[in-house]
Structure formats: C-alpha cells, structure tokens
Amino acid sequence: MEKLKIEAGKFYRTRSGAKAFVAMDKRNPFNPDDEYPILAYIDEEPETNTHKWLNPDGREYASKEYEHDLVAEWREPKRIKGWLNVYLPGDGRDEMFSCVHKTREKADAVMFASERIACIEIDVLEGQGLDGSAR
C-alpha cells in the first residue's frame, strides 16, 4: 500500500470515517524533532470541530491505531437513492437477498411476487453501516 502524502490545505478521511482538514504542516529542517507537526481539524459532529496534532504519518498515537488517524484523501461519498426489494430464500437460494431500483414502479415490475417480503425506499451514503457505524 502506498504511503499517504499529507499536505496542508487538503481534506482527508479519518479511520472513523470523519472528514479532516489539514490546516498546518510545520515540518521544517530547523525543527526535525517535532513528533506531531500536523494540525488537522476533524468534523465529528455538526456542532464540534475537533483539532488534533498528528505525526508525519497522520497518526495521533505512534504506538497504536486511533479513530483520528488520517488514512486516505477525502472523496465525497455518493448517495444511493431508490427502492429496495427484499426477498426471502427460495428457488435454490439459501440466503435472503435484495435489489435496488430507481423507481417504485420498476421495483414492482421486476419483483418475484411470491418471495418479496418488503419494498423499502432508501436514501443512504455509499458504505453506510458497513463499518458498524451509523455514518
């Protein structure tokens, strides 16, 4: 995996999925021993803007992984909107499955009537819930 290059003025994703802005990187040849030269502002909740000093690798603690570590450049998540058909096992399938359609009409038109147990409207961010969080 390629090492993350952290630069002032850019946005990054934290280990917990929050958006962070690197405001300052005060690394310079006159102060090479500064352990935590990077100042990042982390959006954790709408009313809070936490600032953290991070080491050159974007980590809050050198000895362990932590939720505020910078792990990747920020990219805006995509919204997924549509209608989700949910089905029970059947016709050779051993597990429940689901499909997303752009409209309710399309979801109704392609459903397997005897097996569909729900049709749910969704509007979520890509990846929501995959890490166990509600973000």
For the stretch 89-103, pLDDT in tens is: 765 556 666 778 999
Predicted confidence (pLDDT) per residue in 68-123, tens digit: 899 999 988 788 899 988 877 765 556 666 778 999 999 888 866 667 888 899 99
Kindly indicate the confidence band of residue 135, based on its pLDDT and cuts at 50, 70 and 90.
Answer: very low
Would you list the DSSP string of 23-51? EEE---TT-TT-S--EEEEEEEETTEEEE
pLDDT for 85 equals 85
Tell me the whole-structure pTM to 2 decimals: 0.57
Phi-psi sector, 9: left (phi>0), alpha (psi -120 to 50), beta = left
